[in-house]
Copies of this chain bind each other. A is one copy, B any other.
């Protein structure tokens, strides 16, 4: 059923039918069916720039299609990650987060995670200026470790403004 991760990709162009058409092509190209649940889950991810948990997605999807189960959400997400359409992250709060891989921003994410209140701040905008640098680093890594970088994530753990303030009051 599940195919190997390594499949040829169709060209990265929206093609006729917009994103949906492109997704369909990707699925067909990998020998998968482009089913309703898969469409709806992709749509949900496409509609936000936030990092959603499986349950977030399930709840959002559930509003339009109450018949789609949590199991399917998990299975679809796993498949999407395998296909490289979605990135999976872990901020250490015990639940994975998912984000659609968009061509518009470089593959590389930057997050600030507050170790006190668990808030996650998306700092991708900052990261964009580093694109060149990252590319260099990826090349170095590819050479030194014989490793093909597909995605990259940088997490800064520390205290957010609010929690940092509380700390100061403590002392």
Contact: B157 with A115, CB < 8 Å?
no
What is the total number of residues of chain A having a CB less than 8 Å from a CB of chain B?
45
The stretch that binds B, out of A31-39, A68-76, A159-167, is A159-167
Q: Of B126, B141, B146, which contacts A123 at CB under 8 A?
A: B141
Q: DSSP majority for the A interface?
A: mixed
Per-residue B-contact encoding for A150-164, CB less than 8 Å = 1, 0 else: 111111111111001
Tell me whether A138 and B156 are in contact in the complex, defined as CB-CB below 8 angstroms, given that A90-B90, A115-B150 are known contacts: yes
Tell me whether A157 and B148 are in contact in the complex, defined as CB-CB below 8 angstroms, given that A141-B123, A170-B6 are known contacts: no
**21 interchain pairs (CB within 8 A)?**
A5-B115, A5-B167, A6-B167, A88-B92, A90-B92, A92-B96, A112-B141, A114-B147, A126-B144, A133-B133, A138-B156, A147-B158, A147-B164, A150-B157, A151-B156, A151-B158, A152-B155, A152-B157, A153-B155, A153-B157, A154-B155
List residues of A whose CB falls within 8 A of some B CB: 4-6, 8, 88, 90-92, 96, 112, 114-116, 121, 123, 126, 130, 133, 137-138, 140-141, 144-161, 164, 166-167, 170-171
Listed from nearest, the 8 A-B pairs whose CB atoms lie closest are: A146-B161, A6-B167, A150-B158, A90-B90, A149-B158, A148-B159, A151-B157, A154-B154
